[in-house]
Amino acid sequence: MRILLIGFGNVGRAFLQLMEEERRRFRRLGADPRIVGIVDRGGATLSENGVKASSLLTIKMRKGSVAYSEQGGFPSMDAVEAISVSQPHVTVEATPTSRGGSGPALRHILKALEHGSHVVSANKAPFAYDYDTVMRVALSRGRIVKYSATVGGGLPVLKTLKTLTVGDFVESLRGILNATSNYILTLMEEGSSYEEALRLAREIGIAEADPTMDVSGMDTAYKITIIANTIEGGHRVDEVELKGIEEVKPKDLREAALNGYSIRLVGEFTEDGRLRVGPSKLKRGSVLDVSGTLNAVEFRMKRAGPVYLLGRGAGPFETAAAIIRDIFEILEEEKR
């Protein structure tokens, strides 16, 4: 199995490390995965026999790009060219999620499908803006596209959704889908100001230097759109009714607590198919009333009733684990 990795940030590096650990399990399935190329902002490195993880991690740390590798480094090569040259069996799209459109990730995914490659993506944008296009091309090419890493990281939200909808229907869905905003609101409940909570979130590495995607609700909007698309297709993130947590004040949280409620950033897929994201009051002790970096999802099924999923939100290794889970699923589907 030839794998091309596009994107070598935190998630890409975690993926490379976990692939080394999972090699024996792949071999039990009769697969011999080789990462034949890695692309980052500085270029690419390609190796027919598979890249050497330890040396590339060192090169990335010291020089800033895998393109400086002495074994197959190409400073001028972009992802599209790397796909054409390496002809991967599976292309892993792990570049950062863009704002305002699908960005380069859509081009990478469509080019991979054009060359007969299956695709596994951790990048949310193409599935929030151009889901129907991606799936239509994948179907026309007879290729498999997996994207479970886009929602919940290691928490199998989309896999659970697909399992539940065999013989049943989602009537509505609500979820706490962003660990950063949930952590900030939890600290504010405990007495921190918004600014102090954000600073602490940055210190422990769950908030970016620019936290706009998280606190504005846009990250949750991407995720609820992807969930809605997995249910029925036809959605774009720009239809989401969106409000972030920037205007939530400590006094709002205190007043809610006095009345037996918490305030959390909730993403919703409603019974009439609308998508909403915003601060919502949740009954204290209810399943969605989670604290810190936990995620929680409530599936309201037509026949099974409410089904809940709780767990840690996304981190680099959780997201990388989801990518590997998707690769295993591709192997299993190919055998059917």
Residue 27, both tokens: 């071999």
Distance CA 89, CA 3 (A): 6
Distance of alpha carbon 179 from alpha carbon 182, whole angstroms: 5
Alpha-carbon separation of residue 211 from 121, 137, 208 (angstroms): 22, 33, 5
Question: Of residues 223, 243, 249, 251, which has the active-site annotation?
Answer: 223
Range list of H helices, 190-249: 194-203, 212-215, 218-232
Give the whole-angstrom CA distance, residue 28 versus residue 116.
Answer: 25
Cα–Cα dist 57/68, whole Å: 12
Please state, in angstroms and as integers, the Cα–Cα distance from residue 72 to each residue in 38, 77, 145, following that order: 10, 11, 28
Nearest to 205 by CA among 169, 170, 238, 180: 180
Alpha carbon separation from 43 to 56, 86, 109 (Å, rounded): 13, 14, 18
Listed residue (292, 293, 264, 288) closest to 278, CA to CA: 264
Q: Distance between CA atoms of 149 and 158, rounded to whole angstroms?
A: 9
Show the tokens assigned to 86. Answer: 């390496």
Give CA–CA dist 39/41, Å, rounded: 7
Give the number of other CB atoms < 10 A from CB of residue 232: 12
Catalytic (active site) residue 124? no
Please give the positions annotated as active site. 223
